[in-house]
Amino acid sequence: MILPGSYVATLLILLLSMISWGSWANTYKLCPPKWRFELFYFDFAFGVFIAAIIAALTFGSLGWDGFSFVDDLRLAGRRSDALAFIAGVIFNLANMLLVGAIAIAGMAVAFPVGIGIALIEGVMLNYLIRPVGSPALLFTGAGVIMMAIVFDALAYRNYAMAASVAAAQQGKTRTTRKKTGARGIIISIVSGLLMGVFYPFVEMARAGETGLGPYSVAFVFALGVLLSTFVFNLFFMNLPLQGEPVEVFDYFKARFGTHLWGILGGMVWCVGAVSNFVASRAEGKAQVGPAVSYAIGQGATMISALWGLMVWKEFAGADGKVKAFIGVMLFLFITGLALVSAAPLFSNR
């Protein structure tokens, strides 16, 4: 299998992970406005599984060591398989809630709140499992990112309040927007708390002599995503986060292009996942560790926020105060990620 051989190569792979994880949600935005996230998610799960298989049979089966993905999967213990599968299930529920939050509150809100919380929680848990890098830089960076989340929430709160006042002046209702905004933030928080738990399960699945390699863990993880989608999605379709219940047969009424966006979104996300799993398993001078790898990958928050702000105009018409909050949020996020990225260079190992 192919692994990075230098610290720079590892960082470049993590950059790919960050861009992929921060960009996949655009595919949902590109679907027709009436296409519900529950239906989108079936295609997303298929895309994740397809990309995991492609990665496993190519990069996971090449390289000078002659050790292929199939060999790795055959030698792995059942405990490792179970942990990787559970990681996929936990991530899937968290990601479904995240997509629901995007549908309600937009990318510029759902990602910074949800993924920001997941980043802080994941960094702490992953460092406890496999401590690599300077804890001072790592946890300081996580704290700075937490401040960025606060400013993002303040920006959305002020934007929603201004929009409510404007709607009231035009004789429209104010309560619906307030309730919707609060619901979106609450769902984002729950999603973040779940999202921060899945990566430690991935790391435990790779531990020991019978642990899974990065490509095989991605395959089992993707299998967990695919199978759990049919369980979780039926629940969300009957008890939706927003709107009326959805019929299963509605999935088959969409055009092929609509399904293609969902599949593409899943494949883009999986590229980020495989890249992150590979980078976190680099050894020697290329090593960054799971805590740093996860933290940089979750810099996707900044990428998604920029998509939401610059392309989808989710804060269109915002006043100077809201724009200032957004600017501070982006600055703090970049600063926090820089501190986390530098942590391996000052490791005591």
Q: Is the Cβ–Cβ distance between 97 and 194 less than 8 Å?
A: yes
Percent of the chain with pLDDT over 90: 42
The predicted structure's pLDDT at residue 289: 79
The predicted structure's pLDDT at residue 58: 93
How does residue 253 score in pLDDT terms, banded at 50, 70 and 90? very high
The predicted structure's pLDDT at residue 248: 92
- In this structure, the number of other CB atoms found within 10 A of the CB of residue 288 comes to 28
Model confidence pLDDT, tens digit, residues 42-80: 999 999 999 999 999 999 888 655 678 888 898 888 999
Q: Within the chain, where are the H helices?
A: 7-23, 26-29, 37-57, 69-75, 78-105, 107-129, 135-169, 175-205, 214-238, 256-280, 290-297, 300-306, 320-342
How does residue 130 score in pLDDT terms, banded at 50, 70 and 90? confident
User: How many CA atoms lie less than 13 Å away from 41 in the CB half-sphere?
Assistant: 29
Helix axes 175-205, 78-105, angle to 10 degrees: 160
How does residue 157 score in pLDDT terms, banded at 50, 70 and 90? confident
Q: What's the whole-number average pLDDT of the chain?
A: 87
| Side chain identity, residue 193 | L
Q: What is the mean pLDDT of residues 279-301?
A: 82
Exposed (0-12), middle (13-18) or buried (19+): which is 85, by Cβ within 10 Å?
buried
Signed CA dihedral, 325, 327, 328, 330: sign only: positive
Token pair for residue 307? 């998509």
Model confidence pLDDT, tens digit, residues 218-233: 999 999 999 999 999 9
Signed CA dihedral, 292, 295, 296, 297: sign only: positive
Q: What is the mean pLDDT of residues 291-320?
A: 81
Picking from 305, 330, 296, the residue whose alpha carbon sits closest to that of residue 18 is 296
Chain centroid offset of residue 343 CA: 22
